Structure 1
Amino acid sequence: MSLPIILMVAGCILMAVSFFFSTGNKKLSKEMEDLSITVFQETNALKKRLRIVEEELLLEPQFQVKKPQQKSSSFAMPTTYTEKPIHDILKSQVMALQKQGLSIHEISVRSTLTEEQVKSVIANGGR
């Protein structure tokens, strides 16, 4: 036999064999599709849970630090007051927000501290 005939016969045999193995590929692709669907469903469920938690956190009352009121008089005297100590949770929140690259003003708004308090927490390294 000549080489082209041998190659043609081998090609026909390989094509016939490939039909038998295509069912294995179909099973594998079906399993992959099922897996991707379950991952998608689980991801959506986690996103819904996260959205619920975020909404619950946003519903908490916004605590604001009140600034001292000055007495209305003809001349304004500077008022001095002692600031309450800043809680450790707020300090860690300020440090985390600072690591995220937020500005002093943004940290002040999010942490309900004054900008001076935020600057002092950052200067002290959260201590």
Structure 2
Amino acid sequence: MDIELILLSIGLICIILSFFIGKSTRKSEEEIENVSISLHQETNQLKKRLRAVEEELMIGAAPVTNGQQQQQQQQQRKQKPVHEIIINQILSLKAQGYSVPEIAKRSSLSNEEVIDVLKSRGVAL
């Protein structure tokens, strides 16, 4: 009989405590949600400011000639390696019979970059 009373009293205490603990976790969840929303808003504001600064820089830049553009594109290709997944995609598309411009469009690369990848892997054009 004593064990039953002890277990019953422990159960009642746990039920009462669960009401108080539940409220504090709800407050914590609300605070986390508010912080998340404010962080998202601040990130969006920073992106807008960054776009504005980029536009200002582009307006102030001198016009680039075709020769300079080609040189810049070649330098960017040399500096930025193509990821292995993209290379596999290019090889697969070439094996399926797609042309270089179609492969370039599907892989978001320039025709020259696609040609460079195919040549580096020994694929005949």
TM-score calculated relative to the size of structure 2: 0.47
Q: More helix per residue: 1 or 2?
A: 2
| Structure label with greater radius of gyration | 1
TM-score calculated relative to the size of structure 1: 0.46
Q: Which has the higher contact order (CA 8 A, sep 6+)?
A: 1
